[in-house]
Structure 1
Amino acid sequence: MSKTKERTAAPPAHAVPLQAQAAGPVAPPRVSARRRRPGVIALSLALIAAGGAGVAVLLLQVGDRTDVVTVVRDVQVGQVLTEQDLGKASVALDPAVKAVRADKMESVVGKRAAVELKPGSLLSPSHVTKDSLVKAGEQLVPIGLKPEQVPATALVPGQRVQLVHVPAQGAADPGKESDKAGPQSIAGRVVKASKAAPGTGVVVVDVATTADDGPTVAAWVSADALRLVLDSPENN
């Protein structure tokens, strides 16, 4: 081989092999910074502020508690309240709920329960009365009502009723003038109504009547010749 061919085939001294060129450092790609939108930032700050305000209001509501009077044992309608019947509790009270404040407990001690009170309930001003449920000159007559005789409307203390005499068929003389005028009735006032007795469903209603009418009503009850009729709200 000639010297001329040897010089031609020999690579130049400054030449870089292809493997070296491929293994060289690679520049990282440029990442453009995300643009911040002022509107999104402002909205985020507003939501954070609103959330913080909501938490603050919730904490204030939880912390705003009121000392109120509670019932600690069963109290029947008409029973005089004592300090042993009542207790105190600190609760977050809704403005719509009317309850006797703890510092006013002495004002309800000695009054009568206008409704049946159960342990654990809050005492409302409407739950007590200074008046006796059976007033002077009245008598209390218990009346047992069968399930079909109990009104669908709940019987509550103070409700006005009519006690109607309904004698058994054939017991009354149709020739009497009083029968032509309609059945006899006596006005009364509900003092208390029991729950339906298990098995029989009978409800016992304590009704206050005048002392003159009490014996008559008791006789009607004994003869199973009495029905209870509710007066309209305008008459109560």
Structure 2
Amino acid sequence: MSRTTERTAAVSGTPGQVQAAGPVAPPRVSARRRRPGVIALSLALIAAGGAGVAVLLLQVGHRTEVVTVVRDVQVGQVLTNDDLGKASISLDPAVKAVRADDLDSVVGKRAAVELRPGSLLAPSQVTKDSLVKAGEQLVPIGLKPEQVPATALVPGQKVELVHVPAQGQADTGKSSDASPQTIGGRVVKASGAAPGTGIVVVDVATSAEDGPTAAAWVSAGALRLVLAAPDGN
């Protein structure tokens, strides 16, 4: 057989011989069906997340102009423009602060509490009334550390000034079970404890008639301060 015939036979093949394999078809992959409910839930979550981010950005970006305290103001002191300033802050709705637009309405009023620089001014911290009213007198009372109530003394708190015998003096001529003399009063201001001694000075407003008596008790060391009931009784 000639070489030409052999090549032809090799190409065409003969019965019983295995023919060369053809191209292999890729495996069929069926498309996964997406359930409409899952798609709807995904879209809803994406929308909710976007709305939450938008609300957060709005809250962070919203700022309020408020009134601030720029220097120390004592209780009862009349507020001036020099005592107050303005600041733009992100204000929580639960925080009660005087808005900057209302600054003129608080100038000329009195501080109901001691004001510190850097703090926000709240409406409850100012009053248009004098802390010492007409017909009253102010009596300063020094209290030793053991005489200071554990409850904080705040302006407006009602107290009783109780007369007690001075140390080393006997209460002669009176029955031991007699009720002590008392004078009603109202706290105007309480200082911090003095360094070293711990003495706290409390300014108490009393009636003009009782003021001199209370001052005499203080001078004699025969006075104690007692907190009155919340309703004043």
TMscore range, shorter length: 0.7 to 0.9
- Between 90-99 and 224-233, the greater mean CA deviation after superposition: 90-99
Which one-letter code corresponds to 1:111 in the other structure?
K
Pairwise CA distance, 1:91 = 2.5
Residue ranges of structure 2 left out of the alignment (5+ in a row): 1-8
- Between 121-130 and 154-163, the greater mean CA deviation after superposition: 121-130
Deviations 1:105-145 (Å, cap 9, x if unpaired)? 11111111001111122212211111111223322222122
| Residue pairs, 1:100-111, within 5 angstroms | 100-111=98-109
Residue ranges of structure 1 left out of the alignment (5+ in a row): 1-11
Distance 2:174 2:130 in 1: 40
Which one-letter code corresponds to 1:49 in the other structure?
A
| Residue pairs, 1:192-207, within 5 angstroms | 192-207=189-204
Distance 1:211 1:194 in 2: 23
Question: Partner of 2:10: helix, strand, or coil?
Answer: coil
Which one-letter code corresponds to 1:137 in the other structure?
G
The corresponding residue for 1:181 is: 178
Pairwise CA distance, 1:21 = 6.6
Distance 2:79 2:201 in 1: 23
Q: 1:151 to 1:13 in 2, by over 3 A?
A: same
Number of residue equivalences: 222
Paired-residue identity, %:
83
Distance 2:32 2:117 in 1: 65
Distance 2:32 2:164 in 1: 92
The corresponding residue for 1:161 is: 159
RMSD, aligned α-carbons: 2.7
Distance 2:215 2:148 in 1: 18
The corresponding residue for 1:4 is: none
* TM-score, normalization by structure 2: 0.83
Which one-letter code corresponds to 1:48 in the other structure?
I
| Residue pairs, 1:44-59, within 5 angstroms | 44-59=42-57
Deviations 1:199-229 (Å, cap 9, x if unpaired)? 4332221111223322322232233222111
* TM-score, normalization by structure 1: 0.82
